[in-house]
Structure 1
Amino acid sequence: MRAARRPELRLPPLEAFEGGGLEPDGDYDGLEFAGTDLAGQDGAGARFMDCALRGCALDEMRLSRARVLDSVLDGVRGVGTDLAGATLRDVELSDARLGGTQLHGAALERVRIRGGKIDFLNLRAATLKDVVFEGCVLVEPDFGGARLERVEFVDCTLKGVDLSGATLKDVDLRRAASLEIARGVDRLSGAVISPTQLLELAPVLAGELGIAVEG
């Protein structure tokens, strides 16, 4: 089991973002978005490099195919944020409150998601490499058809996970605070779980294998 590599961020001195809004295919370098209301804005295809978004509202924000590199997102909140097909590399996401975030087809590499709560996270057909979920709550996250390599879940609460069609390699679930798999338990090959988790998953595994368990 190879451990995930954490992002190592050293942001340069940042300038305050003073623009009126985002632009599709825009280029944002070395900027700090502090408490900025970005709800409903269209930054599809934009590039964020060495940026910090702190306390920003991201409701219905469109960032499909965007590139977020060497950046920090702290205390962001929003429902329906669209990051489909985006690239996140060397990113730290802390204390987020998000719902229905669309990351299907996205590529995440050296990403750390720490604290907060994310409901109905859509990571279908996404690629996750060197990603750490730490101390967060994930409600019904969808990893259907995704590829996970060197992914760790540390002190996380995982509710209703969908792993249908997913491919796992060096995925460490042992330190998850709670693990509930709704679909795709047969895709756990390539993951490591604890003995306690094995006992908790036994009914689901038995059902998947067609084993009747009777007293």
Structure 2
Amino acid sequence: MPRPRRQTGFAQVTPNLGEHLDREDLLAALRAPDARVENTTLSGLELAEVSADGTGFSNVAFRGCTFEWVDLSGCTFSDVLFSGCRFVRCEMGRSWLNHVDFHSCSAPGLSFAKGRFTGVSFEDCQLSYVDLSEATVDRLAASETNLMEATLHQTRLRHVSLDRCDLTRATFFRTSLEGIDLSSCEIAGIRVSSDLRELRGAIIDEGQAAELIGLLGVRIKEDE
């Protein structure tokens, strides 16, 4: 069987974008209210215990950076690439991500709660326990990404593509999966309402259907 085509992403970052900002300049920008960080690559950056103040990022590439206890809540990201980055106990809640790509990033527990996605991709990422509660998502593409025990409570999803993602024990309370193709994903232990209303209109394969029957308390009798 041919391998599905890899996601191309949404971010339109200038090719071969140079490094025009150092760590101290970035820290100064993060501290200033409504500052902007534009047209630069940041490589191997390490930030810890830093809070932004509504910073806007545009045409920026983060490569091999580490963020630890960094609060990026309320920031705006437009045409931004995160490649090979690591997030430890970070926050991006209430942020707007517009044409943003995450490639081979590790961000367990990262919070996007009450945020807004308009063209975001995750490729080969570790996002277990990610929080997308009450977020508004329009155009999300995730491939080969670990979303185990992710929380999507009252999340609005439109134009979502999930390819070979692990959704084991993910929570989708009051989040409609209508029209979303889950057939290539792992959905064991998925958490939905007792009437399974979140799954109405979702696309699954036969094996997944047999597994979801268990949520109704029904067992399939095996041939003797």
Q: 1:30 aligns with which of 27, 32, 39?
A: 39
Q: 2:140 aligns with which of 124, 131, 135?
A: 131
AA aligned to 1:179 is I
Seen in structure 2, the aligned counterparts of structure 1 residues 63 and 10 have a Cα distance that, compared at 3 Å, is closer
Seen in structure 2, the aligned counterparts of structure 1 residues 8 and 19 have a Cα distance that, compared at 3 Å, is closer
2:187 alignment partner in structure 1: 179
- For 2:124 and 2:83, locate their aligned partners in 1 and report how far apart those are by CA, in whole Å: 10
1:82 deviation in Å? Answer: 0.7
1:196 alignment partner in structure 2: 207
> Is 1:116 the counterpart of 2:125 in the alignment?
yes
Mark the runs of 5 or more structure 1 residues left unpaired by the alignment: none
Contact map agreement 2:111 2:132 (CA 8 A) in 1: yes
AA aligned to 2:128 is D
Contact map agreement 2:192 2:198 (CA 8 A) in 1: no
- For 1:131 and 1:10, locate their aligned partners in 2 and report how far apart those are by CA, in whole Å: 18
Seen in structure 2, the aligned counterparts of structure 1 residues 166 and 5 have a Cα distance that, compared at 3 Å, is farther
1:84 deviation in Å? Answer: 0.6
1:174 deviation in Å? Answer: 1.8
> Is 1:14 the counterpart of 2:22 in the alignment?
no
- For 2:38 and 2:65, locate their aligned partners in 1 and report how far apart those are by CA, in whole Å: 17
- For 2:9 and 2:200, locate their aligned partners in 1 and report how far apart those are by CA, in whole Å: 23
AA aligned to 2:211 is E
Deviations 1:96-141 (A, max 9, x none): 1112211100111111100021121010001111101101111210
Contact map agreement 1:140 1:162 (CA 8 A) in 2: yes
- For 2:164 and 2:146, locate their aligned partners in 1 and report how far apart those are by CA, in whole Å: 9
TM-score (norm 1): 0.88
- For 1:8 and 1:214, locate their aligned partners in 2 and report how far apart those are by CA, in whole Å: 46
Mark the runs of 5 or more structure 2 residues left unpaired by the alignment: 1-6
> Is 1:83 the counterpart of 2:92 in the alignment?
yes
Q: 3-state SS of the aligned residue for 1:78?
A: strand
The answer to which structure has the higher strand fraction is 1
> Is 1:95 the counterpart of 2:104 in the alignment?
yes
- For 2:213 and 2:8, locate their aligned partners in 1 and report how far apart those are by CA, in whole Å: 31
- For 2:158 and 2:123, locate their aligned partners in 1 and report how far apart those are by CA, in whole Å: 18
Contact map agreement 1:168 1:189 (CA 8 A) in 2: yes
1:159 deviation in Å? Answer: 1.6
1:203 deviation in Å? Answer: 0.3
1:158 deviation in Å? Answer: 1.4
Deviations 1:174-194 (A, max 9, x none): 222x11203344311242222
Q: 3-state SS of the aligned residue for 1:65?
A: coil
